[in-house]
A and B are shown apart, each in its own frame.
Chain A
């Protein structure tokens, strides 16, 4: 494995574009455009095709990061972006009304991909909401019969994003070992 493709998904505003910008060694590729619906209250722009960034691990492995659009109407992009992917990061925005339902939504939509890969869940915007607890996230994952690492992250911080990526890669290595 000398090149690894990872996908980052999650609700609009969870921080997919921010995470990739925080960690990419090259200027990230963005496809953000003006928001014209309710989301405009939260954000001026939203991703409509993909984000792309790259980084190199200590052992020289290249990691390509692809961020998806968050909104369900861009579901066709989810299917395109996961092709050839090795792992998935799901970002869950805790400031939204029902973060656990959001998690379910992405687990369900990416079920086929998840079936073949590793997943890490990043719980974001913790400064704005301390709930649900990590235990509740783990319980929800158990209901799916899977155990994935769950981290509280501030995606604006490179180290936090790095932590999720390392965790994801180690679960992949474990799976293929």
Chain B
């Protein structure tokens, strides 16, 4: 199956960004880039998680978030946040066709995670085609 692939350089760049995110906060234990239609592109996980399944799920939640925003007459969905008793999952659109998701424990607060995500997304958007 022909799928969106990133170059070796692109891959290295993504891994650097993921490393930085994890250095910025110990709470971050998973970062995944996937496509808007649910394919896994690249990731860094400190724990074992099913990346293919998560990639599909992130595309669903993001699409639902965008749809809900539209139905509620609100503009532009920036993030979808899943807040759990033992962690946070933030998902946001990266350029036209990619999705960035961050999985973290509750050791960081949402504000910090927001800013980590935002700066990572800026860097990635500038460097990924």
Instruction: Write the residues of chain A forming the contact surface with B, with a CB cutoff of 8 angstroms.
Output: 29-39, 46, 48-50, 69, 71, 73-74, 76-77
Contacts and interface: CB of A to CB of B under 8 A. Distances in A.
Given A48-B59, A76-B57, A37 B1 contact: yes
A46 B63 contact: no
Contact of B38 (A29, A30, A73): A73
A34 B36 contact: yes
Nearest to B40: A73
A163 B53 CA distance: 36
11 contacts: A29-B71, A31-B63, A36-B35, A36-B36, A37-B1, A37-B35, A48-B36, A49-B59, A71-B38, A76-B56, A76-B57
Given A31-B67, A36-B35, A76-B53, 18 more contacts: A30-B67, A32-B63, A33-B37, A34-B36, A34-B97, A36-B36, A37-B1, A37-B2, A37-B37, A46-B37, A48-B59, A49-B63, A73-B38, A73-B39, A73-B56, A74-B56, A76-B56, A76-B60
B3 interface: yes
A74 B60 CA distance: 8
Contact of B36 (A33, A73, A76): A33
Contacts of B128: none
Contacts of B61: 49
Nearest to B96: A34
Nearest to B55: A73
A37 B57 CA distance: 17
Contacts of A50: 64
Given A31-B64, A35-B37, A36-B97, A73 B1 contact: no
Contacts, number: 66
B4 interface: yes
B92 to A, nearest CB: 14
B3 A48 contact: no
B40 to A, nearest CB: 9
B112 interface: no
A33 B53 CA distance: 17
B52 interface: yes
Given A33-B59, A74-B56, A38 B2 contact: yes
A69 B66 CA distance: 16
Given A29-B67, A34-B96, A73-B38, A49 B3 contact: no
Q: Which 4 residue pairs of A and B lie closest in terms of their CB atoms, listed nearest first?
A: A31-B63, A33-B36, A49-B60, A73-B56
A37 B71 contact: no
Nearest to B98: A36
Contact of A37 (B39, B60, B63, B96): B39
A29 B52 CA distance: 26
Nearest to A69: B60
